[in-house]
Each structure stands twice: as C-alpha cells, then as structure tokens.
Chain A
Amino acid sequence: MPVRPRPLSPHLAIYRWQIGNSLSILHRMTGVALAFGLLALSYWLVSLAGGEAAYGEAIRVLTSPLGWLFLLGWTFSFLYHLLNGIRHLLWDAGYGFERNQRQVSGWVAVIGAIVLTVGVALMVWHGANR
C-alpha cells in the first residue's frame, strides 16, 4: 500500500480557514495591539503628571489624524479582546463547546465589538462637537 506523507498538525498552509481559528488569531493580534495601547496609556498618564504643557503635547499627538486612527484601533481591540476573552473564560469553565454555540458566540464577539466601537466613536464624535 502506498504511504502518502500526512501533515502532522494543522498548519497555516493547509488549514481550512473558519471562524474559530480566525477569531483565535484575532484575539492574539488584538492582545499585542493592546500591549502597545498600554504603552500609550502610560505615556498619557506620565504626561498628566508632567504638567499642563506635557499633557497638551500628549493630547496633540493622540488627537492627530494618526492618533485618532490608533485610538479607534485600540478601542476595537479592547472591546473585541474583552468579549472574546469572556468566551475563552467560559470555555475554560467547560461551557459553550457545541458547534453552534461556538459559532454564535464567535459572531456575537466580533459583531458586538464592531457595533460597540461604532457606538463609542459616535459618543466621542458627539462629545467633541458639543
């Protein structure tokens, strides 16, 4: 019988992409993004302690067009990592492993994060133009 070399473990090159692995990768990517967000948060706090001039400079950097883009990205990352993190905690506790539960909770996490991000952006937009 001819022996065909078999893949030893799921590998990116042969893995069939689906919501499960995509959201898992997104969880890690948003986590790394949030690590840089933590750096920005610390910088912002240090500028606050540094006095009015330093704080003004931090706000100027963070509300530049690029700054807004990063803030929007961090907002989505935070909300997604939070919702998907709760999903992971439920799995760790032994719940939600059925196929449809996994898919529904996955869509709730990703769509919920997008909706909440838009909501937060609208709140900020409304506040800035008050």
Chain B
Amino acid sequence: MSLRSPLGRVLGKGSAKEGTGSWWAERVTSVALIPLTLWFFFSLLLLPSLDYGTVKTWLAVPWSSFLAVLSIAVLTYHSYLGTTVVIEDYVHATGLKVLSLLTLRFLYVLCGGAGIFAILHVAFGS
C-alpha cells in the first residue's frame, strides 16, 4: 500500500532520495578531518619557529603541501556544510535565506580556492 496521495503521485512529488546526502557528507568529512587537522595543528605547533623561511621550507616539502591541500579542501567542505545548516536553521525569510546561502557558497569557494592556490604556489615556487 502506498501512503502517497493520488495527486502527489500524478505530480511526481515525493522523496528526492537525496535528503541524507549532506548529513552523511558532514560525517564522512569529520572522520577525515580527525587525522588531517591533528596533523596540521601539531605540525605548526612543533615547528622550531613560525618565521617566513621555516614555514615556507616546511610547506614546500611534498608531503606537507599534499596534506595541507587535502586539509584545506576537506575543512572548507565540512565548514560549508555546517554553516549552511546554521543559516537554514536561523534565517527564515526566503529571499534573505537564498541570498545568504549563495553568498556563503561563493565565500567558501573563494576562501578554500585561495588557500589551496597559496599552498600550490609555495610548493611549486613562483
């Protein structure tokens, strides 16, 4: 027996079957971020100094730049998913909601893109 109304069936409305997509992605990225962020955090903490030369030399090592790019990419996606839910929860006016979600998305691509580009710039030299 279907619980869908005849009208609903005719209009083809119902579950889009992708409602759990962002929820699941938030969890998958959080699992990936446990080792990635710990690596990033403790690498910086254990550097002998944070002066220009030391940090640049460290980040230019292929392992460092590779893991740093992964970290920024996953962090950006995870943070985007999280703050999107915050806006969806608290901003109710449709126009403002769409505008803030769109702005948020652009800002994350900009921020993540700039971070990754900067790492690659350091890794491959100017």
Residues of A bordering B, CB below 8 Å: 28, 31-32, 34-35, 38-39, 41-42, 45-46, 48-50, 52, 55-56, 59, 78, 82, 85-86, 88-89, 92, 120, 123-124, 127
Contact = CB atoms under 8 A, between A and B. Distances in A.
A83 B118 CA distance: 29
A49 B113 CA distance: 13
A59 B50 contact: yes
Given A38-B111, A45-B115, A124-B45, A28 B86 contact: yes
B77 to A, nearest CB: 11
Contact of B59 (A28, A35, A48): A48
A42 B52 contact: no
A38 B76 contact: yes
Nearest to B24: A92
Given A48-B118, A59-B50, A42 B30 contact: no
B37 A78 contact: yes
Contacts of B121: 49
Contacts of B41: 78
Give the interface SS of chain B, mostly helix, strand, loop or mixed.
helix
Contact of A41 (B51, B115, B117, B122): B115
Interface string B30-45: 1100100110010001
Contact of B115 (A32, A42, A127): A42
A32 B104 CA distance: 12
A6 to B, nearest CB: 24
Closest 7 CB pairs of A and B: A42-B115, A49-B118, A49-B121, A45-B118, A46-B118, A55-B52, A35-B79
Contact of A42 (B50, B86, B112): B112
B114 interface: yes
A89 B33 CA distance: 12
A97 to B, nearest CB: 17
B112 A89 contact: no
Contacts of A39: 111
Contacts of A92: 27
Given A42-B112, A123-B45, A89 B75 contact: no
A31 B83 contact: yes
Contacts of B122: 45, 48-49
A42 B118 contact: yes
21 contacts: A31-B83, A31-B86, A34-B79, A38-B76, A38-B79, A39-B111, A42-B114, A42-B115, A45-B122, A46-B115, A46-B118, A50-B118, A55-B52, A78-B37, A78-B41, A82-B38, A88-B30, A89-B27, A120-B45, A124-B45, A127-B49
